[in-house]
Structure 1
């Protein structure tokens, strides 16, 4: 009986540790609402049309569960070097390989999700799991969207990404699920810069949980650039409570 009690207690402690230590990542980098007048982040609210590099879309893991998958999707940067895109080796928690592939298309298709596409000036939306950090007792540190506005031969370092910030998103912009703060879906939207030429650009999703504790996801975006005039921005519908504080564009 003592052995059984010890095992149960250990399992309970492990579950608590998992919940406390769960951290987030960019689950979908091109989230499109089924009804723009009723935006939301639940599976019933929209569909995903673009993913981070080498994202395992056929894993069979439920939304928000890829922190228990191997390799895990959450990448905790090491403040000693702040490698911007996980290489699956470095970092306090290494995460999956999100380095630039050659060719870039190698990171997409097949068992991986498709590459995101957009028109210059278009509004794009991103989804992420709350992972227990959207509760009222948790700090609400922003998500930074960093996007160099030139076509690069290789990924920049973190300083280069940070200098290329185009938006700050509200981490707690979520559809709360009662009793399951781990798998609560959250998201935000930003404008792709309107003056971009056609080509493939790199974007970083970066979230600070605590001071010097950053989590990051990287992906490539195929842009159909502006030609003579800025393209129109697709409407996302009327203002709603979930969009009250989606983004502060710099």
Structure 2
């Protein structure tokens, strides 16, 4: 009887894999902070539908990794569940995530092996892209969203997570993804208007809730011009 039960469980597991049931590979991150559509009338988040001209801190563009595969180098970062102690930007202290702490000067986190820093203006539209990573499914539809938090501090140190939560400038639908069979590598994204800020450089945080109290973040510097 025990042997039959074990065989049954093995068979069910094999069927789940063969049937293409969602297999969680990793969690998501901000792939691009400033995505420009090739055709704004037919917006596409796919690689052939636009280009990225602004990235998160120390984003490794020189590695030329295919879209959605940066989990292999632990690009994603899970925060502490308590925002009072959560680190807003990964310092890779637990061996996961990437170094997204503020550089001094901030320009050191961009250019060369890294992607460009986002340059924008008040009222401009910024479009942010991320990979689905098997999570753009109905069970993640309810209250599963992306926060865009923008620090009010100009040319200064990163503020705390609690302070960032007082400066949420947009909530984006995580499941706004391109159609396709590959549920892991679907390209997703959302757009928002840059709010009023004095000219300067500011911390922008992409923050996504996978499950209740389970948050992932990516950090970027954006330069707001006159």
TM-score (norm 2): 0.86
| Partner residue in 2 for 1:221 | 222
Query: What whole-Å deviation, never above 9, does each CA across 1:108-145 have from its counterpart, x for those lacking one?
Result: 00000010010111111000000000123434401000
The question of whether the paired residues in 2 share the 8 Å contact of 1:177 and 1:184 is answered with: yes
Q: Give SS of 2:63's match.
A: coil
Return the alpha-carbon distance in structure 2 between the equivalents of residues 118 and 83 of structure 1: 26
Q: Does 1:171 align with 2:179?
A: no
* Count of matched residue pairs: 207
Superposed, 1:144-163 pairs within 5 Å as: 144-163=147-166
Q: Give SS of 1:29's match.
A: coil
The question of whether the paired residues in 2 share the 8 Å contact of 1:204 and 1:218 is answered with: yes
The question of whether the paired residues in 2 share the 8 Å contact of 1:207 and 1:216 is answered with: yes
The question of whether the paired residues in 2 share the 8 Å contact of 1:143 and 1:171 is answered with: yes
Return the alpha-carbon distance in structure 1 between the equivalents of residues 197 and 76 of structure 2: 30
| Partner residue in 1 for 2:37 | 33
Q: Runs of 5+ in structure 2 lacking a partner? A: 1-12
| Partner residue in 2 for 1:120 | 122
Return the alpha-carbon distance in structure 2 between the equivalents of residues 217 and 182 of structure 1: 19
The question of whether the paired residues in 1 share the 8 Å contact of 2:81 and 2:214 is answered with: yes
| Partner residue in 1 for 2:92 | 88
Return the alpha-carbon distance in structure 1 between the equivalents of residues 63 and 141 of structure 2: 31
Q: Runs of 5+ in structure 1 lacking a partner? A: 1-8, 226-250
Q: Does 1:187 align with 2:189?
A: yes
| Partner residue in 1 for 2:212 | 211
Return the alpha-carbon distance in structure 2 between the equivalents of residues 209 and 138 of structure 1: 7
Which structure carries more helix by proportion?
Answer: 2
The question of whether the paired residues in 1 share the 8 Å contact of 2:25 and 2:184 is answered with: no
